[in-house]
Structure 1
């Protein structure tokens, strides 16, 4: 439980002006600035991997941040691609059951969301944590190492994954329930996910999962 509590409170540490203001702007311009945003997520993970974890880092556009963002975007695309390819064929197969469009695509998307989410949670947290620590892009694509990490410390992975899923649920809930909009919710979820992923590759003793 310490890990979960620490992850949810971590985004509010440090200077919010140097973290949140650029972060919110980047989320607003996500279609254009997704590479810097992903690069910052890696930088945040790297900061959280220290013992004790550092505060969310201030935004600094640098070659390393852009490189980290590029390689992380490649990982995300490769993770999504098989399910994106399967979307249309599955929607066609479900067209009669769903009584036409757009319901067929909606149902197909929901059917594929669960296995994609599981694959993403199994691979991306360990991969990004290892990449943040080493700076070696090959760590992002070492699926075997990610799965070994899950088996080696299933409890920490399970709690980290729960924190990530909950953070993204909170982020989506920000649209209506909290009346603050999805932009701060998304950036909050990114920071929580970075801190939770860092627990999988943190220097020194790991925080208790109880």
Structure 2
């Protein structure tokens, strides 16, 4: 599980404090800074792919904004089918007498959406970060081929991503730290884990 350990430690390496300072502000104002935050996630993935020992500094640029824009489009595209199913499923549950139909429908669809995102986004993100070509973000067939080609690395990377988000959300209550640093930590761990799928040089050991 070397990859998991490296991904968990990576957000706190090198000159991480300045990256965190801006990153926390971006998470706080995520309704306004959603696109720059996603752009930074791509930049973090790109940096990790080169083997850099720590998250990159924030540099607001056209590339960062475009990366964030394309990534948000990919995220929304994956979420769209599940969003379209929400109301029909809730209506069916309501007709069956379920008073919390929309809540149950939301969580029922959240699991398959999460699984599909895990199958598609890590490889797509890593490929896009490496090439800079937006079409790589939407080449879901290539992402699935990547999972089949190196299932072990993807499996460990997915485990790191899921665990980091669980830790990030736990920060809101259990750890009494707050959800904001937890979310930014999860973004950085996810970036490093995804980078393992397209890193320059040998892949890190998944064991």
**TM tier, shorter chain?**
over 0.9
Q: For residue 37 of structure 1, what is the aligned residue in structure 2?
A: 37
The answer to whether the 8 Å contact 1:98/1:107 transfers is no
The answer to whether the 8 Å contact 2:164/2:186 transfers is yes
Distance of aligned partners of 1:205 and 1:98 in 2 relative to their CA distance in 1, 3 Å threshold: farther
The answer to whether the 8 Å contact 2:16/2:54 transfers is no
What's the offset of the Cα at 1:97? 4.0
What's the offset of the Cα at 1:23? 0.2
Q: 1:179 aligns with which of 169, 176, 180?
A: 176
The answer to whether the 8 Å contact 1:45/1:195 transfers is yes
Q: For residue 196 of structure 2, what is the aligned residue in structure 1?
A: 199
CA deviations over 1:43-79 (Å, ceiling 9, x no partner): 00001001x3332000000111001000000001101
When the two structures are aligned, how many residues end up with a matched partner? 207
Q: Quick check: 1:16 aligned with 2:16?
A: yes
Detail structure 1 runs of 4+ shifted over 3 Å in the superposition: none
Distance of aligned partners of 1:98 and 1:34 in 2 relative to their CA distance in 1, 3 Å threshold: farther
Which whole-Å CA distance do the structure 2 matches of 1:17 and 1:208 have between them? 28
Which whole-Å CA distance do the structure 2 matches of 1:35 and 1:176 have between them? 27
Q: For residue 5 of structure 1, what is the aligned residue in structure 2?
A: 5
Runs (5+) with no aligned partner, structure 2: none
Runs (5+) with no aligned partner, structure 1: none
TM-score, normalization: structure 1?
0.96
Secondary structure of residue in 2 paired with 1:38: helix
What's the offset of the Cα at 1:154? 0.2
Which whole-Å CA distance do the structure 2 matches of 1:207 and 1:163 have between them? 14
